[in-house]
Amino acid sequence: MGIEAWYMDSSDEDQRKPHKLNPNQPLSMEDLQKLGVYHWKLNADIYESDPELEKIRKEQGYSYMDIITIHKDTLPNYEDKLKMFFEEHLHLDDEIRYILDGQAYFDVRDKEDRWIRISMSKGDLITLPAGIYHRFTLDETNYTKAMRLFVGEPVWKAYNRPADDFDIRKKYLASLQGS
């Protein structure tokens, strides 16, 4: 099963709303893969002992993991962090997130610089490639619990747009050629 993704409208209204176009313009898993975005659906009820998750971690080299609970009562500096997550940015490494509970949105830019909204809920594991411009927001339920995975020691540094001079950005754009 895939995840739901769609092109966003350009309204400045509450970031937590779906922001679908009318009529909706959905994207397929293949469309997302062409941007380097990959998805797995797992059973989050058994994440502590899930052989499928173990297999992915082993194959992809996701040696690091921690869990973040994004809710006003659990996350220190909740408002500031949410603001930061919603600033358009890139990372020098892949961003790998597994939703264990609740739901949230990841927004990514397509090749024409249009925003795509990806709806994530319990059991969705997503990888965003290094160098892709993206952002994150909670939805109107205001809660999610996510596993953060990383190859080796984690580097959380986000570079806000514009960050076009980074080699990783150029490499990412080159990877889109012909896809």
Ligand X SMILES: CSCCC(=O)/C(O)=C/O
Nearer to ligand X, 95 or 139 (CB): 95
CA distance 141 to 144: 8
Cα–Cα distances in angstroms (integers) from residue 91 to residues 42, 56, 88, 155, 164, in the given order: 25, 21, 11, 9, 12
| DSSP 8-class letter at 8 | B
Choices 6-14, 29-37, 40-48, 133-141; region in contact with ligand X by CB under 6 A: 133-141
Q: How far is the CB of 117 from ligand X (least distance, A)?
A: 13
The answer to whether the CB of 131 falls within 8 A of the CB of 169 is: yes
Q: How far is the CB of 134 from ligand X (least distance, A)?
A: 5
Binding mask 86-125 for ligand X (x = CB under 6 A): ---------x-x----------------------------
Q: How far is the CB of 91 from Fe ion (least distance, A)?
A: 5
Residue 89 assigned to a binding site? yes
Nearer to Fe ion, 95 or 124 (CB): 95
Residue 91 assigned to a binding site? yes
Applying CB under 6 A, does 85 fall inside the site for ligand X?
Answer: yes
The answer to whether the CB of 97 falls within 8 A of the CB of 11 is: no
CA distance 119 to 106: 7
The answer to whether the CB of 32 falls within 8 A of the CB of 5 is: yes
Site residues (CB under 6 A) for ligand X? 68, 85, 95, 97, 134-136, 146, 148, 158
